[in-house]
Structure 1
Amino acid sequence: MADAGHSPAEYVTHHLKHWASSHDDAFISVEAWHFDTLLVSTVLGLLFLTLFRMAAVRATSGVPGKLQNFVEILVDFVDNAVKDAFHGSRDFLAPLALTIFVWTFLWNCMDLIPVDLPPMIAKHVFGLEYFRAVPSADMSATFALSLSVFALIIIYSVKGKGVGGFAKEFLTHPFGAKLLPANIVLNTVELLAKPISLALRLFGNLYAGELIFILIALLPWWAQLIPGLGWAIFHILVVTLQAFIFMTLTIVYISMAYEHH
């Protein structure tokens, strides 16, 4: 619920600022470190590793527990998704896809926490003025993840085709060697569009979701239940879908880069 001392504009602005190394009021800054994004991402990553480690240690060939069942279903689901799209060794790509899906899903789930709770805890417990708890609503986080995928696209393209094959495809596809400048422009745009679209799609959906939750919090407390609950239920679908889309596009992009054309 909005603080009585804040105007609606001040309330929204306050909730959209990061615990950062500097505040220059820019929508995106390449100089400021967003400590809240780094902290929440690290904690969620450790949570993911801990749960899956526990499932691996407690795995049994007898009657599996609920955690083992859940992890096995998730691993099979991701492995089948990789198997359907990628025809090389899955030793690296399947764990990568699993990590991206679960980690991004956990990022997105932070959007379902009441918007006033994380900054209130950060202020009263740690004395922080600003704190945002949704890493995927931070463009720096989504671009960091998409740039990692971009690097893997280049690596797998060279791995699948060789340096010469990658260069030949980049310079001569799709119009042939006679239109080399046009090929370079077209392939550069196509290559750069992949990480940009990955980052902006995830950021845009979760930023919009966070903003709507903040706007709902501006309503009187007795008017928040129905719109808040309705949007939270719908947002569960968005949270899962965006994690799945990011994982699927990662698999598809790396598969396209690895195969010969």
Structure 2
Amino acid sequence: MRDMLEGQQVLAAETIQPGHHPTVEFLGLTFNTDTLISTVLAGAIVVGLGLYMARGASAGKPTKLQIIFEMLAEWVRGQIDDGMGIRAPRGVTELGITAFAFILIANWLAALPTEHVAPPPTADVNLVYPMALLVIIWVNVVAIRRRGVKGYFGHFAHPYAFLAPIEIVTQYFARPLSLALRLWGNIFAGVLMVQVIGLMPAYVLWLPNAAWKLFDMFIGALQALIFSLLTIMYFSEAVGEEEEAGAH
């Protein structure tokens, strides 16, 4: 019995390798092939659903997919209107919708029996860091276009100039890290837990595995929601207060 338990522990150590990805070298760069595959797969699903919905879209008799998409679009617009109180900058609504849809599909790949080939790409920091960086860069570009260079960077010194370094660290370091790591940590933990459950005996595997995957899908939807809400909040803080002040 003891030998059997030790054998299972050795098997677990060999099977579960947190953060390990199959890689390929190209032009001196290393790429995680599983992340690339699952990212392309999630993107293709989102684009495919969008094209399928657009093809069958109708104002008189909308399809179920069209209704879901319109509900998502209305929710994003409502969050932007409530947060900014102004007309959203071009592309912000589309970014919020796309981010939610892509992250949701990417997270839900964990429910497919292809985890070793196409695991959720959001469980890899090499994807979530660029996503967070894209949001922060876009926020700054929109804010500079709305306020001007002097007006935007000058707000870091308000209400007190000595707080400027803290505001800069928060804007360019803390926010991207928190945005990325919040998403990555939850999805990575879910993937790891499914791998651990997979080591259980076959006759009890189906119940905890199925239950955990349902819970994992709920967490995936929640993280997609949080990422989108934070993205909208960052845009709101960058341009909303200034526009409101100018209006008065």
TM-score, with normalisation over the residues of structure 1? 0.81
Question: Which position in structure 1 is the counterpart of 2:195?
Answer: 214
Where 1:219 maps in the other structure, the secondary structure is: coil
Question: Which position in structure 2 is the counterpart of 1:96?
Answer: 95
Contact 1:82–1:90, Cα closer than 8 Å, also in 2: no
* Alignment CA distance shift 1:231-1:73 (3 Å): same
Higher mean C-alpha deviation, range 246-255 or range 69-78 = 69-78
Decide which of 41, 48, 61 is 1:50's aligned counterpart: 48
**Are residue 147 (structure 1) and residue 133 (structure 2) matched?**
yes
Question: Which position in structure 2 is the counterpart of 1:123?
Answer: none
Contact 2:124–2:188, Cα closer than 8 Å, also in 1: yes
**Are residue 18 (structure 1) and residue 6 (structure 2) matched?**
no
Where 1:68 maps in the other structure, the secondary structure is: helix
Deviation at 1:242, TM superposition (A): 0.3
Letter in 2 for 1:18: H
Letter in 2 for 1:112: A
Distance 2:160 2:63 in 1: 56
Question: Which position in structure 2 is the counterpart of 1:233?
Answer: 214
Contact 1:159–1:258, Cα closer than 8 Å, also in 2: no
The residue correspondences of 1:114-125 to structure 2 (distance < 5 A) are: 114=113, 117-119=114-116
Where 1:7 maps in the other structure, the secondary structure is: helix
Letter in 2 for 1:226: L
Decide which of 151, 159, 180 is 1:165's aligned counterpart: 151
Q: Percent identity?
A: 29
Contact 2:81–2:88, Cα closer than 8 Å, also in 1: no
Deviation at 1:201, TM superposition (A): 0.1
Question: Which position in structure 1 is the counterpart of 2:111?
Answer: 112
Distance 2:177 2:154 in 1: 24
Where 1:33 maps in the other structure, the secondary structure is: strand
Contact 2:89–2:142, Cα closer than 8 Å, also in 1: no
**Are residue 174 (structure 1) and residue 159 (structure 2) matched?**
yes
Where 1:18 maps in the other structure, the secondary structure is: coil
**Are residue 243 (structure 1) and residue 224 (structure 2) matched?**
yes
* Alignment CA distance shift 1:110-1:69 (3 Å): same
Question: Which position in structure 2 is the counterpart of 1:193?
Answer: 174
Question: Which position in structure 1 is the counterpart of 2:4?
Answer: none
Distance 1:210 1:190 in 2: 30
Contact 1:142–1:199, Cα closer than 8 Å, also in 2: yes
Question: Which position in structure 2 is the counterpart of 1:39?
Answer: 37
Aligned length, in residue pairs: 231
Structure 2 residue ranges without an equivalent (≥5)? 1-7
Distance 1:150 1:89 in 2: 16
Structure 1, residues 141-199: CA drift from partner, whole Å, max 9, x if none? 111100000101211221222111112112x22323xx3xxx33211221121111000
Distance 1:195 1:12 in 2: 29
Deviation at 1:258, TM superposition (A): 1.4
Question: Which position in structure 1 is the counterpart of 2:3?
Answer: none
Structure 1, residues 14-35: CA drift from partner, whole Å, max 9, x if none? x74212136xxxxxxxx53112
TM-score, with normalisation over the residues of structure 2? 0.85
- How much is the aligned-residue C-alpha RMSD, in angstroms? 2.2
